[in-house]
Amino acid sequence: MAIEKQNLDWARHPNHHIIDSASDDMPELLLRIPNPPERLFVVGNIDALHMPALAIVGSRNPTRGGRQNAYEFAKHLGRSGFCIVSGLADGIDTAAHEGALDAGAMTVAYLGHGIDQVYPASNVELARRIALQGALCSEFPLGSNPRREHFPQRNRLISGTCLGTLVVEAAKRSGSLISARLASEQGREVFAIPGSIHNPMSRGCHQLIRQGAKLVESAADIIDELGPLAAHLLQATDESSTPGTIATNVDTEYEKLYAALSFDPATTDELARASGLTIEQVSSMLLILELEEKIEAIAGGRYSRLQK
């Protein structure tokens, strides 16, 4: 009872929100992941949670080049219409949030502690800026301290709310690699920036690329991959007037895929052959069609149209 009163008192602030899983304000992509959050505490603009988003993650101790890459990719992708999502940590996370903010774009930080705290303390001012130009989010109760086990749990929300995850720099054993693995398990795209073979912070990215992550050299590589999916998501949520909306020939591609679907279940490979699209395009587009309740996913990685 005392906890609920504490929550109600906190939520009286006009910029504070408590979203439960049954609310329309809960990001629908998060409801599709294993173990979705039952509740989110949010400070800032709830609309930021429903924009096409890209996660940018990496080392807490990056090289100068890694930090600059995170900043520039976030700035460019933010201007292109993506919300930039990260975890408010030192290093790559901080650079990504700052790049989005400096571009005038939305950015969201998922926290590994109660939303009434800021960790690390050096990012208090950054957290204030994010709350004004995006949102801070946490599933942990008010007053929860930063704990080591909270951060991997938090990472599933960072990847789960996004269409893709970009790893900028990471050692071979890194929390960023956990985010990348979770993104892959959630059916999201994984991107990695290659680096020098002599840089220990590049080894995690090289490992991801060997495992199938998409190698990126410019923000355009990500826009080419996620643009159709992002544009369709904007259209589906009636946000196509958002500054920086990505222009694509998305309707034609979705028409090809939908025409290839029938009431008889088909695999991603079969749909790719029938539609003439790549397997990567089909995998991403199926997520949106499922969210729009036009198709259903069936055991064995098969999909079929829903009866009208």
**DSSP secondary structure letter of residue 38:** S
Say whether pLDDT at 48 is over 90.
Answer: yes
Task: Supply the CATH classification number for the domain 2-221.
Answer: 3.40.50.450
pLDDT tens per residue, range 111-157: 999 999 999 999 999 999 999 999 999 999 999 999 988 998 999 99
Helix axes of 250-260 and 219-236: crossing angle, nearest 10 degrees? 70
* Element holding 175 (H helix, E strand): helix 175-185
Question: What pTM was estimated for this model as a whole?
Answer: 0.78
- Give the pLDDT of residue 260: 86
pLDDT tens per residue, range 274-306: 888 877 677 767 766 776 667 887 777 788 887
Beta bridge partners of 153: none
Q: Which residues of 267-301 are buried (b: 16+ CB within 10 A; e: fewer)?
A: eeeebbebbebeeebbbbbbbbbbbeeebebeeee
CATH architecture of 249-305: Orthogonal Bundle (1.10)
Report domain extents, the chain.
2-221, 249-305
- Give the pLDDT of residue 308: 55
User: Using alpha carbons only, how large is the chain's radius of gyration in Å?
Assistant: 19
- Give the pLDDT of residue 1: 55
Q: Which two tokens stand for residue 113?
A: 């502690």
The one-letter amino acid code at 81 reads G
- Write out the DSSP string of 229-280: HHHHHHHHTT-TTSTTPPP--HHHHHHHHHHH--SS-EEHHHHHHHHT--HH
> Is it true that 2-221 and 249-305 share their CATH fold?
no
- Give the pLDDT of residue 239: 44
Q: Which two tokens stand for residue 103?
A: 């571009």
**DSSP secondary structure letter of residue 308:** -
Quickly count: other Cβ atoms within 10 Å of residue 185's Cβ.
13
| H helices, E strands: number in the chain | 12, 12
Say whether pLDDT at 190 is over 70.
Answer: yes
pLDDT tens per residue, range 54-88: 999 999 999 999 999 999 999 999 998 899 999 99
- Quick one: CA dihedral 128, 76, 286, 179, positive or negative? negative
